[in-house]
Amino acid sequence: MKGTFKKIGIVGFKEKSADLACALNQIALWAVAHPQVKFFALDSLSGLVQKPIRVVKEAGLRSVDLLLAIGGDGTVLSAAHIALGHSIPILGVNAGRVGFLAESRVEGLAKTLDDLLAGDFSTRDRMMIDASVFRGKKCVAKQTVLNEVHIRAHAPDRMVNVNVAYNGTDLTEYWADSLLISTPTGSTAYNLAAGGPIIHPSTPAVVLTPVAPSSLSVRPLVLSLTDKKLEIVSAVGRSLDLVFDGRITVEAKPGDRVTLVESKSVTTFIRMRHTGFVGALREKLGWTGKPRLA
What predicted TM-score, i.e. pTM, was given to this entire model?
Answer: 0.88
Asked if 73 is an active-site residue, the reply is: yes
Question: Binning pLDDT at 50, 70 and 90, where does residue 38 land?
Answer: very high
Q: Looking at the structure, do residues 155 and 93 belong to the same domain, yes or no?
A: no
Please name the helix (run of DSSP H) or strand (run of DSSP E) that holds residue 249, with its range, or none. strand 248-252
Q: Looking at the structure, do residues 104 and 136 belong to the same domain, yes or no?
A: no
The domain that holds 95 is classified in CATH as: 3.40.50.10330
Q: Looking at the structure, do residues 34 and 56 belong to the same domain, yes or no?
A: yes
Q: Looking at the structure, do residues 260 and 132 belong to the same domain, yes or no?
A: yes
In a domain, 214, yes or no: yes
Q: Looking at the structure, do residues 110 and 135 belong to the same domain, yes or no?
A: no
In a domain, 291, yes or no: no
Q: Looking at the structure, do residues 135 and 260 belong to the same domain, yes or no?
A: yes
pLDDT tens-digit readout, 43-87:
999 989 999 999 999 999 999 999 999 988 889 999 999 999 999
Measured distance CA(241)–CA(251) in Å, rounded: 5
Measured distance CA(231)–CA(163) in Å, rounded: 8
Q: Looking at the structure, do residues 224 and 108 belong to the same domain, yes or no?
A: no
The domain that holds 222 is classified in CATH as: 2.60.200.30
Contact between 254 and 237 (Cβ < 8 Å): yes
Q: Looking at the structure, do residues 148 and 97 belong to the same domain, yes or no?
A: no
Q: Looking at the structure, do residues 133 and 260 belong to the same domain, yes or no?
A: yes
Q: Looking at the structure, do residues 132 and 260 belong to the same domain, yes or no?
A: yes
In a domain, 148, yes or no: yes
Q: Residue 227 corresponds to which amino acid? A: D
In a domain, 294, yes or no: no
For 233-236, which contacts have Cβ atoms below 8 Å and span 24 or more sequence positions? 233/162, 233/163, 233/257, 233/258, 234/161, 234/162, 234/163, 235/161, 235/162, 235/163, 235/173, 235/175, 236/161
**Count of C-beta atoms within a 10 Å radius of residue 80:** 29
pLDDT tens-digit readout, 249-294:
999 999 999 999 999 999 999 988 665 676 666 666 666 666 555 5
How far lies 185's CA from each of 3, 102, 128, 203, 238, in Å?
28, 12, 9, 10, 30
Q: Looking at the structure, do residues 139 and 222 belong to the same domain, yes or no?
A: yes
* Secondary structure of residue 86 in the 3-state scheme: coil
In a domain, 231, yes or no: yes
Question: Binning pLDDT at 50, 70 and 90, where does residue 2 land?
Answer: very low
pLDDT tens-digit readout, 206-218:
999 999 998 888 8
Ramachandran angles phi, psi of 19, nearest 5°? -90, -5
In a domain, 194, yes or no: yes
Contact between 82 and 10 (Cβ < 8 Å): no
In a domain, 174, yes or no: yes
Catalytic pick among 43, 65, 73, 115 = 73
Measured distance CA(120)–CA(272) in Å, rounded: 7
Contact between 145 and 78 (Cβ < 8 Å): no
In a domain, 293, yes or no: no
Q: Looking at the structure, do residues 109 and 136 belong to the same domain, yes or no?
A: no
Which residue range is the domain that position 154 belongs to?
A: 128-264
* Structural domains of the chain, count: 2
